Chains A and B, each alone.
Chain A
């Protein structure tokens, strides 16, 4: 899944690219209070892949092979178990006790994973992220309640780390996305640990302020995350999670400024959020 593999893939004839993308199976986990499965599956479909929504309980009861058959695991947004006892906890706990070996196997054989909002919280609670040094099961960071207590739905601007190994954010510089959560304040187990993550380029996405720099200031940073951390990848770059929702920016007209500033030429159909899904699907396709 190197840059070379990706550029080889993208230099294939169009129809061959389309065919290979179509072979990328995406497992979209649903149920138990998750609720962004439809838009997430739509995003992967528009990126050319073949998504399939599967209830976590089906995966736990007998359909575990689905995990070994897919290239991408999508952990979607929502309120699994109402965020009770901490966002993502009860859901993550189910995975830890009932699916973790299969999940580690999936990661070990090069699977990709995308966690959005509740999915990101689940990945961090499991220890899948930041997944440093090949340890994907010890939680070393958390997404704590926002400094300003409570859920908030407002658009923020993200800047992506250019030197990040993250395959999902390759080639992206900034993007506006809706932030929709009550627990998104990133806290690492220690300042040194956070610094290591930054040095390795694992802080793939940050909240930025009006001057374009990373910010800890509300409302540009909706939760008070240190150094503006909004999204993380593991050191392989294949596992990525972020708090804001690329799955809610699949059409240009969804940007809050679109209706005010649209021009006659702008069809408003392309949502920049799709780029993240395209990156992931192409990375998976280039490995097929």
Chain B
């Protein structure tokens, strides 16, 4: 029986959802929507007794605000109604909460078959049917996950009340199949493609060979398995060997060629330039300090560094690009709640402290024709923000860093970086917090959400193959409340010492989580028929590899299993024993009494053939702006720059993210008199028991990649580190994370440019390595995403190679933190670092390109990339930073900001906007200035530079620290309310701070 309940705001009260839609329709779609009001619909599929439906209605309706009805609510008049509901199998978390409320109201359970499905009816006034359809398509519904129905008022009245619910209907459990691999190469490739295994021909051959060799093994026949692999085995191998889990490219053998030079052989980029780099840095730390502060790196779900005697810090950043392109809201939400599980599944489990996010999009004001099937960049941006906002806020985790960069090459695929900092107790129930080990005999327990078809094969699944009642597979949708409740339960279990090991279910689902954990004890045996499902009808292999969200896998000792399960019951969190860890070195998967997979652990984890790749580097050249293109008044250029998408204040969106929950926030993400200037670094307490804190910052500049990824990587590390120091971090406790988002670097017929992109990767790794070693900042965690291309209308669009370097540092007392906010008139300004004519890949050149009216063809970089990319010269920067750190520690620095996009001019402008007083910057004696033109001096993006203010009384002490270094006095703060940029008597630019502030906040206000 299905009962329909409709609820809407009373006519005398505003309907903010409807008003927001009307505004969007008018602004973005030019549809003159007069009014929109929303009706929330609940379809309760349950046997309700007499009067029960009415009781539910009475409770659901907020008596002050709303009214409602059983069946149809006869409320406000409309011209067209657009109904939006989920497709079968899509997570409906509101429906889940509604069910809880119904059961509390009725005082009884609705039974296991019952469910509540939610949808919305948008009652629109002043639009035609066609306009309503467009509005629904472009603003309300995503056909991948939602159903939409458009009816005129007449059609609405003449049809019976809709009682249809998106229940998943299935037809029994599909049988386990065996797959014959005695095939030629072409057939193996076809098999991999057809089953979406994403395995190469070499890998398929390796599997075929293994089964040819061991298929008749007596252990296999004893288990009732034949010589050919089952689909469960094949899928399990495909997941374990996937690029996502195995990082094959980063572990490949690479032949690197540069022009006609001798080719160089690189055994593994990861081993050489990531792990190797960190090992070298750690040795230096031990040499200097006698002990290391790296607690756990590279072998767990996130990196762990020592913080104080009670807790370590844990940090991980991930990307979720493809899912966010398909379903921006769900994809991005899964990104944030997914990365939460990484620190949570590190060691014995961390308390989650702070999230970070960063996005690369095409312009939200994109006005060119979009290839079919592509969502408008504005919609992708809005959806991604909304998903991470809801995911973070509802999980009760503040954000600490948030940034956006824009380039038209992100039109096909946005980059969505999400990360989380956690605190791992030094001791958990008497054991070291970072130690985790499943032992033979420990139970395999899955807890949290249930398994569905969502996320099987991730985003590679072709939705065309779906029939109407089939569950949606292509995207997962997070349910932060289910996860939050699971986390709360697990933290209690952790502190009671109820489990031995924990890890998350992310990519590859159970096959990865159990497969990885089983390496400790030897092996594992699990029975998939015990797994709790969202609905029946999943094949065993689907259950094994499903990436359904909100699940953790644990190892629980037999003596503690009752206590563990009992606590789960009391917290109303599902927890199920699926099997146990074994000494036998195999992964055995059962379906009831039948064995459906039996894989030697050695083959599962060590059987994948090594990838061999070719890299070929040759510098490329790009257009420079002409003298005429550069003929622009500096004040005009600066005003334009601070309002460009990459520099404009993103505070409108960012304020929708909580940044203060937990009460640990010291320096907030947006600062200054109007609290709308992005902070160089943010600062948080790690707990309420100490004034020590941590500092967060990052560096990222995909634009330099067009010229040289080596420089790009150096720039990213340098900026992240420089911002740490400008925030007040100790120089000797900074750790960094690397997140590579690359276009496909493997050469194929469709990707002839692969060797160049691989060479870009090699160069980036070398740049990263050199910078990290120079600064002594170990790489504690990272991730790579290697297929960021899309083919649209026959054109291949590749993202510019992007390396995000995230940094976490320590500050001994958060009250010693520094910001870019100038403090008082009369304070002296200092310029640190050397400026060179490095305008290649600069924001200034991109501005000149836009100003010239030229537009790059789809997939190409913006006009005027130029040639001179900023290079990191650590021989100059290392002593400079060390002096800066001393000055900060001595309390001599009143404010500081690291130069990034837009050089001295933009740094001074940001300082001026944040302070609102007056900045008089005189570059006359700034290092390197003599050799430069005015625009180069102002806008070049040379690295290693910092703008500092110092109180006049401290000037001598400050200057003494920089003896012999590039540090010069360069003007003072004044009370003029203006920004003046000059060289001695020659005034280069002068702007009222108010007009700069307006330009800075205007671009993205309410966008």
Contact = CB atoms under 8 A, between A and B. Distances in A.
Interface in B481-495: 481, 484-485, 488
A178 interface: yes
Contacts of A82: 93-94, 97, 394, 480-481
A85 interface: yes
A28 B672 CA distance: 35
Range for the number of chain A residues in contact with chain B: 35 or more
A251 B817 CA distance: 14
B734 to A, nearest CB: 21
Interface stretch (A32-40, A105-113, A231-239, A280-288): A32-40
Interface in A84-129: 84-86, 89-90, 93-94, 96-98, 125
A58 interface: yes
A139 B64 contact: yes
B671 A250 contact: no
B553 to A, nearest CB: 23
Interface string B466-482: 00000000000000110
Contact of B666 (A146, A150, A253): A253
Interface in B39-68: 40, 59-60, 62-65
Contact of A153 (B107, B657, B666): B657
A31 interface: yes
Interface string B92-128: 0110011011001101000000000000000000000
A64 B701 CA distance: 57
Nearest to A187: B64
Interface stretch (A19-27, A73-81, A160-168, A205-213): A73-81
Interface in B649-688: 655-668, 671-673, 675, 688
A256 to B, nearest CB: 5
A97 B97 contact: no
Contacts of B667: 259
A259 B62 contact: no
Contacts of A245: 660
Given A152-B655, A153-B660, A90 B97 contact: yes
Contacts of B959: none
**A84, A247, A250, A251 pick with most chain B CB within 10 angstroms:** A84
B16 interface: yes
Contact of A151 (B97, B104, B395, B658): B658
Contact of A35 (B484, B656, B675, B818): B484
A158 interface: no
A181 to B, nearest CB: 10
A200 B318 CA distance: 54
A25 B654 CA distance: 38
B20 A259 contact: no
B63 A139 contact: yes
B101 A259 contact: no
Given A36-B396, A84-B98, A31 B485 contact: yes
A140 interface: yes
B485 A33 contact: yes
B64 A38 contact: no
B269 to A, nearest CB: 40
Contacts of B63: 139, 189
A151 B656 contact: yes
Contacts of B9: 144
B97 to A, nearest CB: 4
Contacts of B823: 260-261
Contacts of B488: 30-31, 55
Contacts of A85: 40, 60, 94, 97-98, 101
**A147, A259, A267 pick with most chain B CB within 10 angstroms:** A259
A149 interface: yes
Contacts of B389: 150-151
Interface in B1-43: 9, 13-14, 16-17, 19-20, 40
B393 interface: yes
Interface in B781-835: 814-815, 817-819, 821, 823
Given A31-B488, A151-B656, A79 B62 contact: no
A98 B101 CA distance: 12
**B16, B395, B666, B817 pick with most chain A CB within 10 angstroms:** B16
A79 B673 contact: no
Contacts of B662: 35-36, 38-39
Contacts of A78: 396
Contact of A189 (B64, B393, B673): B64
Given A57-B572, A142-B62, A84 B485 contact: no
A133 interface: no
Nearest to A30: B488
Nearest to B397: A35
Nearest to B60: A85
B628 interface: no
A180 interface: yes
Interface string A195-235: 00000000000000000000000000000100000000000
A219 B238 CA distance: 53
B16 A149 contact: yes
Contacts of A125: 62
A40 to B, nearest CB: 9
A151 to B, nearest CB: 5
B821 A79 contact: no
Interface in B618-663: 655-663
Contacts of B280: none
Nearest to B659: A153
B41 to A, nearest CB: 12
B814 A253 contact: yes
B663 A142 contact: no
B663 A84 contact: no
B366 interface: no
**B59, B104, B915 pick with most chain A CB within 10 angstroms:** B104
Contacts of A144: 9, 13-14, 65
B749 interface: no
Interface string B328-370: 0000000000000000000000000000000000000000000
Contacts of A81: 97, 100-101, 481
B288 interface: no
A146 B182 CA distance: 64
A84 B660 contact: no
Interface string B893-924: 00000000000000000000011000000000
B660 A97 contact: no
A259 B821 contact: yes
Contacts of B661: 35-36, 77, 180, 248
**A85, A148, A154, A187 pick with most chain B CB within 10 angstroms:** A85
B100 A90 contact: yes
A254 B570 contact: no
Contacts of A14: none
B16 A147 contact: yes
B612 interface: no
A77 B661 CA distance: 9
Contacts of A141: 64
A247 B664 CA distance: 10
Contacts of B13: 144, 187
B571 interface: yes
A192 interface: no
A251 B570 CA distance: 36
B570 A153 contact: no
13 contacts: A31-B485, A33-B394, A38-B662, A42-B688, A55-B488, A57-B572, A96-B104, A139-B63, A141-B64, A142-B65, A154-B655, A245-B660, A250-B688
Interface of A: 30-36, 38-39, 42, 55, 57-58, 61, 77-79, 81-86, 89-90, 93-94, 96-98, 125, 139-142, 144-155, 178, 180, 187-189, 224, 245, 247-248, 250-251, 253-254, 256, 259-262, 267-268
Given A93-B59, A144-B9, 5 more contacts: A33-B396, A86-B65, A153-B660, A259-B817, A268-B815
The 9 A-B residue pairs with the shortest CB-CB distance, nearest first, are A35-B396, A39-B663, A84-B97, A142-B64, A149-B16, A260-B821, A81-B97, A82-B481, A84-B94
